[in-house]
Amino acid sequence: MQPFTIADDDTDWELVDIVAAAYDKLDDDDKQVLHEVFYARSTYEETAENIGIKAKSHAWRKTQRALGNLRSQLAANHTFREKYGTKYME
């Protein structure tokens, strides 16, 4: 297997910028839970402990709420809707 090079990078940087802007509009609680689950790769149990809530089911619900808020921000972005439609909304 050949090592990864920039020429192999097919990242859609416009999409990255749109998602980053939508993420920036989230409140701190939403950002924290999304960071824990998707960046730090914490379990829901670890996430609950790290953000100071009692049950992993609460962490799951907070994650779902944060994802819903992120989807709403993306849906409100004209460029996102025009270019990607509902491709990333499900």
- How does pLDDT run across 23-73, given as a tens digit for each residue? 999 999 999 999 999 999 999 999 999 999 989 999 999 999 999 999 999
Per-residue confidence (pLDDT) for residue 86, from 0 to 100: 75
Residue 73, pLDDT score = 95
CA gap 64, 6 in Å, rounded: 34
The confidence score (pLDDT) of residue 2 equals 53
Evaluate if pTM is beyond 0.75. Answer: yes
Q: How far is Cα 50 from Cα 41, in angstroms, rounded to an integer?
A: 12
- Going by C-alpha positions, the residue among 31, 36, 61, 32 that lies closest to residue 47 is 36
